Structure 1
Amino acid sequence: MLTDIIDKDLKIIFCGINPGLKSAWDGHHFSGRSNRFWKTLYLAGFTPNQIDAMNDASILDFGYGLTTAVDRATTRADELSKDEFANSIEAFKKKMIHYQPKYIAFLGKAAYMAFSGNKHLAWGHQEEKFCGASVWILPNPSGLNRGFTLSDLVKHYHELYLVISK
């Protein structure tokens, strides 16, 4: 299991779908070699330098946190069942209500689709709030997500950065 890096009243909690096997093994978020999260965060302006996955806890220094929608580690997120999302929603809601982030950035559409029941989601800002937080849906930075180049990821993430940096 991968431990959340979280605190109260953060600007953003980035929510991955679930841990990859390497991240769960290492105990560090987004530690897979092909995962582009840390590079994207840096290039989009969230951090002044690229954080190494082994120093993932330093993300708190910038007012950001990390969690996952489902705790179970898998090779691919599409290995999760609908029941696993359904069984995770209440614990996730409790966590968000307790920590009260300003924004929740779901990395990929799968978790928010399952949690909101909304099957027609666009990338970016969502109209409805979730547990009092504004919601953004960003493309999943996994190296398995070949539908988005690094440049595409940076563009989407930078849109959120511009909003939170005002």
Structure 2
Amino acid sequence: MAAEPLVPDPLPPKLPDVLTGGLSVVFCGLNPGLSAVVSGHHFTNKSNRFWKAIHLAGFTAELIEPTNDRRILQYGCGLTVVVDRPTIRADEVSRQEFQASHGTLHRKIELFAPAYIAFLGKAAYSAISGRRDIAWGLQPERFAGAVAWVLPNPSGLNRAFRLDDLVQAYRELRLAAF
């Protein structure tokens, strides 16, 4: 009896970007959570504070539901991720994966040409820039022509930042970008 051929596992679905040309800010997550990929929408985990933080920081006039994530475009903002591979926790993504995704992200940001790119957490930007001493906020060099900014990750697993801390950090970006 002949052995059955091995069939590779199908690639996991990709979370679609929410992008268009000429945006003021593109928020760049580290990678999508499993729930986001399953739903097809960004920041769907109930513990994630992204939507609340950007609303309270003044980016949106309303609290956007994750299922309506494309509404963020109406406010001059967009969404993407550094690494497409979904995980339960962002710390499951290696520095090498962030580095390998650099070229794809760079081309995407050049194509859509936002004024700012806001990395949500230090890990990806550190790996991409090759710098370990990343400060929060405005970065000294641009990324693909966009002003680079680093914000705290809004994940509910990030207990180092309370919602008020997130709102303050995100508000600083809004004041600079708009």
1:39 is matched with: 52
Aligned alpha-carbon RMSD (Å): 0.7
1:101-132 Cα distance to aligned partner (Å, 9 max, x none):
10000000011111110110110011111111
Alignment partner, residue 172 of structure 2 = 159
- The whole-number CA distance in structure 2 between the counterparts of 1:119 and 1:164 is 25
Alpha-carbon displacement from aligned partner over 1:115-151 (angstroms, at most 9, x marks no partner): 1101101100111111111011000000000000000
- Paired with 2:118 and 2:128, the residues of 1 have a C-alpha distance of 13
User: Which position in structure 1 is the counterpart of 2:126?
Assistant: 113
Provide the rounded CA distance (Å) in 2 between the counterparts of 1:49 and 1:8: 23
TM superposition shift of 1:83:
2.3
The DSSP-based 3-state class of the residue aligned with 2:15 is coil
**2:121 maps to 1:129:** no
Residue of structure 2 in register with 1:63 after alignment: 76
Which residue pairs with 1:93 in the alignment?
106
> In the alignment, does 2:156 pair up with 1:140?
no
**Alignment partner, residue 89 of structure 2:** 76
TM-score, structure 1 normalization: 0.97
The letter for the 2-side match of 1:155 is: Q
Q: TM-score, normalised by structure 2?
A: 0.91
Please identify the structure whose Cα radius of gyration is greater.
Answer: 2
Gaps of 5+ in 1: none
AA paired with 1:72? R
Q: Is the 8 A contact 2:115 2:177 kept in 1?
A: no
Tell me how many residue pairs correspond in the alignment: 165
Runs of 4+ in 1 over 2 A off after TM superposition: none
Provide structure 2 residue ranges, at least 5 long, that are not aligned to the other structure: 1-13
